[in-house]
Chains A and B, each alone.
Chain A
Amino acid sequence: MISLNVNGKQHQIDADPNMPLLWAIRDILGLTGTKYGCGAAQCGACTVHMNGEAVRSCVTKLNRAAGQQIVTIEGLSANNNHPLQLAWNELNVPQCGYCQSGQLMSAAVLLRENLNPTDQDIDDAMSGNICRCGTYQRIRAAIHKAAHIQQEAAKI
């Protein structure tokens, strides 16, 4: 039995400790917002937070994830109202949408550590996330917008 804490909920799962976290989240816990894109830490579609850091769940083995705080896209906010989610909606970022959970999870770490990221910061932080539909221009704009929303909220 492996104990997993995902989005604040404790789970006991019976699985191979070498199974990547991605498949446990998707096939065992049924949280399908986290996507499989490459299985090789190349695309970022499977990005989740482990103790607040962005990790590629397709190469994170269950035994490493056990007992850690895991957050998936389903746990990013209570109501689809993280500043990034608000900005994503306002600027119509997604096309097919498949990469977007990963994009949002990577951007969330950037925005937490850098209240006002520059274009260069965004390039660096987001370079691990592929979008085949080519939404990069909007992702960039939405991260800037989210930074703004976050700053405004902090003033209140």
Chain B
Amino acid sequence: MEPKEISRRNFIRVSGLASAALCLGVYFPASAKEEVIVSKAAADARGIEMNAWLQIDTDGKVTITDHRAEMGQGSFQSVPQIVAEELEVDLKDVNVIFAQGNPKKYGSQITGGSSTIRGSYKQLLHLSATARTVLIMAAANKWAVPVSECYAESGNVIHKPSGKKFHYGELVVDASKLEAPKEIQLKKISEYKLIRKPLNRRDTPIKTNGEAIFGLDKRLPGMLYAVVERNPRMRGTLKSFDSTAALKVPGVKKVFKVQMKVYDTTRDGVVIVATSTWAAMQGRKALHVVWDDSGFEHVNTIDIVKRQEELLKTSEGISFKTQGDPDGVLKQSSNTIDVIYQTPYQAHSAMEPLNCIAHYQPDKIEVWGPIQAPDWIQGNLSDEFKIPKENVVVNMTFLGGGFGRKAFLDYPYEATLISKEIGAPVQVVWSREDDTTQGPFRPGIAYRCQGAIANGEISAIKFRVAGQNLDHWQGGKRDKPNSSTDEGFVKPYFNSIKNISFSDINFELPIPPMWWRSVYASTHGFGYESFMNEMAALAGKDQLDFRREYLKDERCQKLIDRMEEVSGWKSRKKNEGYGVAITECFNTTVGQIVKVSRHTDGKVKIDQVWAVMDCGWYVNPDIIRAQVEGSVLMALGAATIHEITFKDGLPEQRNFYNYLMPRMSDMPPVEVHIMENTADAGGVGEPGLPPFSPALTDAIYDLTGNRIRKLPFDMNKV
């Protein structure tokens, strides 16, 4: 039973705290659906655990705890921007600290699914407005004037008629004794001074002078460094190793076997612990390891692709969704297409390779690192090492990119094992080669797309998907279709396409797969939206008008109008190829138009990308623009520059010399537009990625008549 009196309208109690006079947070009751805003004092009195999202000291200092990771997506700026708005404080007076992992305190903290803002902005707005309200009440009481005569501004409460003011620090003690009113008035969007403004990011200065501390930069007293030689085929076992030469390398302290868990598989490795990163790397070079790689398939990319093609021809798969009777209609139609789309495996390749510091003590574990999933890691380490959760402390540093790879358990687990064995804090460093070759990878997926057009309209669509299913690696049942089979597909299509089906064909490999920026939308978007462009061509219609016909809801109509307007779609010239795609993921819809032309050197170049994002309520338009610019570049790399291929069970790419990355000269100009509306906030960090590759290949088709159905392709050869 939760104590009755702790509720939204009765959230605050006498504060006996010396340091933090007003400390508000949200408490996630195990039994209730809705979380509750609560003061620190009330929480302590009840013995419940709350987060300390917002704290105002007697000197007026405001501290916000950022419960999500900062990996470039801007939580370090956008979370305070929300709080400062409703609290009425100056942004520069707000301190931000990173939370430690604790789902009991913060709910989900996984920085994935583009959830940083959409997952918590309502709570943050409400919390901050609540604090402002009680501060105003406290001032009104002190002056013995009506609350309606007072307002808050820049960390002060001001009495309008007399001009008297108190700064928040002077009010926090009184405020913490008050009960907040039942209804808290939130600002209207038109009243926002900070939200929706392109304010500069507060983490920029420390990211231009070397001060920002990423995982690899963290140092602890007495810390040792380690590198691990892991099985290159990801599945084999360690037969034997000879550490004699490695141990002779100056600085090398210890060499031993370590087994990292990756889902329910084990990755065998030999770890070299040394006094510096370099010494550990030298030790690794001198190490001799023999692997036993029997008992599992050594895959080849050629076979993966062949097998997927075969399955798409012979298997119906497991139905994910069927509307109407696409099979029946297809059988009776004469105007049909039946094509296969293919996408490759990808590594995440964040600029900061994986790394983690762990300090294991008999009754306590503490880890530091570039971590996207602190709460999940806390739970895992607690289970694995049999240490109560409250003694497992997970600290997030800045992340040098994540893209999903750092929302995983394997690297902190391995680091903790190593620390336990050596009895000292240790930083485990993955080389670029480790980071590129060890996976888990974004799976390459193939699509069979069938469609029929009658009288210029879509009469049926049938999609079949063959690719590794992440669900299966997380305990999902084999007889269920992939839960993300239609990810990326814009929902309103379902209202206007009467006969449509999606099915998922089981496709198993020994390679561990993983989410990668925008997850399945990153590949599905290419298959599904490219196919929509083929259907438009079959119907003899303009691709954008075709979308307009089938995406009838108001938000989509407005998005399409905007796309047309900003790109000059209607006035495009001969010798210019224009392509389009619209995808949806994480409650955000993004449309992109790509323009290409053949330059004097004979090569096709991307002249311009226009992206229009409808993410509903949003915080910082400049951060959104940056995220979309980056998403386009990442999509460009995956569509035209790199892929992970396997030969005899080994990934063939190792470092940036054969896993090439787009460079400065590859960056196309990207113009980003944001739709203005008051719908619930959607994601921002990922949804800009999926529409790019189908829009690009559509533009190439428009220019050359050549339809590209397999990624990656070479821009120099189109």
Q: Which residues does A use to contact B, with CB under 8 Å?
A: 16, 19-20, 23, 26-28, 30-40, 42-43, 45, 72-74, 76-77, 80, 85, 88-90, 92-101, 104, 122-123, 126-127, 129-140
Contacts and interface: CB of A to CB of B under 8 A. Distances in A.
Interface stretch (B39-47, B166-174, B409-417, B623-631): B623-631
A134 B629 contact: yes
3 A-B pairs closest in CB distance: A33-B210, A134-B633, A98-B400
Interface in B64-80: 71-74
Contacts of A129: 663-664
A42 B657 contact: yes
Nearest to A131: B351
A39 B562 CA distance: 45
A136 B230 CA distance: 34
Contact of A35 (B206, B216, B626, B630): B216
Contact of B207 (A26, A94, A123, A139): A94
B278 A136 contact: no
Interface in B201-233: 201, 203-214, 216-217, 219, 225
B401 A138 contact: no
B353 interface: yes
29 contacts: A26-B217, A28-B276, A32-B210, A32-B214, A32-B219, A33-B210, A33-B211, A36-B353, A37-B352, A38-B655, A40-B655, A40-B657, A94-B72, A94-B207, A96-B72, A96-B352, A96-B398, A97-B207, A98-B350, A98-B351, A98-B400, A132-B350, A132-B661, A133-B633, A134-B629, A134-B632, A134-B633, A135-B626, A136-B664
B438 to A, nearest CB: 15
Contacts of B73: 95
B589 interface: no
Given A98-B400, A99-B351, A138 B664 contact: no
Contacts of B219: 30, 32
B432 interface: yes
Nearest to A33: B210
Contacts of B403: 132
A93 B72 CA distance: 11
A83 to B, nearest CB: 12
A80 B655 CA distance: 32
Interface string B321-356: 000000000000000000000000000011111000
Contact of B216 (A32, A77, A127): A32
B131 to A, nearest CB: 28
A89 B656 contact: no
B273 interface: no
B162 interface: no
Contacts of A137: 629, 667, 669-670
A136 B351 contact: no
B209 A80 contact: yes
A143 B218 CA distance: 30
A100 B630 CA distance: 14
Interface residues of B, number: 63
Given A40-B657, A85-B209, A138 B276 contact: no
Contacts of B664: 122-123, 126-127, 129, 136, 139-140
Interface in B626-652: 626-627, 629-634
Contact of B399 (A27, A36, A96): A96
A23 B207 contact: no
A98 B204 contact: no
A92 B656 contact: no
Interface of B: 71-74, 200-201, 203-214, 216-217, 219, 225, 250, 276-278, 282, 349-353, 398-403, 429, 431-432, 622-623, 626-627, 629-634, 655-657, 661-667, 669-670
A132 B205 CA distance: 20
Nearest to B403: A132
A45 B351 contact: yes
Contact of A16 (B74, B207, B250): B250
Contacts of B655: 38-40, 42
A2 B351 CA distance: 30
Contacts of B670: 137
A33 B209 CA distance: 7
Given A30-B219, A85-B208, A123-B664, A134 B634 contact: yes
Contacts of A97: 72, 203, 206-207, 212, 214, 398, 400
Contacts of B225: 27
A28 B225 CA distance: 13
Nearest to B213: A32
Given A16-B250, A40-B657, A134-B633, A27 B216 contact: no
A123 B278 CA distance: 32
Given A92-B201, A98-B401, A132-B634, A74 B629 contact: no
B204 A93 contact: yes
Contacts of A33: 209-211
A23 B351 contact: no
Given A27-B276, A85-B209, A98-B401, A136 B204 contact: no
Nearest to B275: A27
Given A85-B209, A126-B664, A134-B667, A96 B277 contact: no
Contacts of B630: 95, 133-135
B418 to A, nearest CB: 18
Nearest to A72: B210
A70 B233 CA distance: 41
- Counting chain A CB atoms within 10 Å of each CB, the highest count among B217, B403, B622, B657 belongs to B217
Contact of B276 (A23, A45, A80): A23
A134 B631 CA distance: 7
Contacts of B214: 32, 35, 97-98
A85 B207 CA distance: 10
B203 A94 contact: yes
Contact of B663 (A30, A90, A127): A127
Given A39-B431, A96-B351, A98-B351, A27 B277 contact: yes
Contacts of B71: 96
Contact of B432 (A39, A74, A104): A39
A73 B74 CA distance: 23
B179 to A, nearest CB: 41
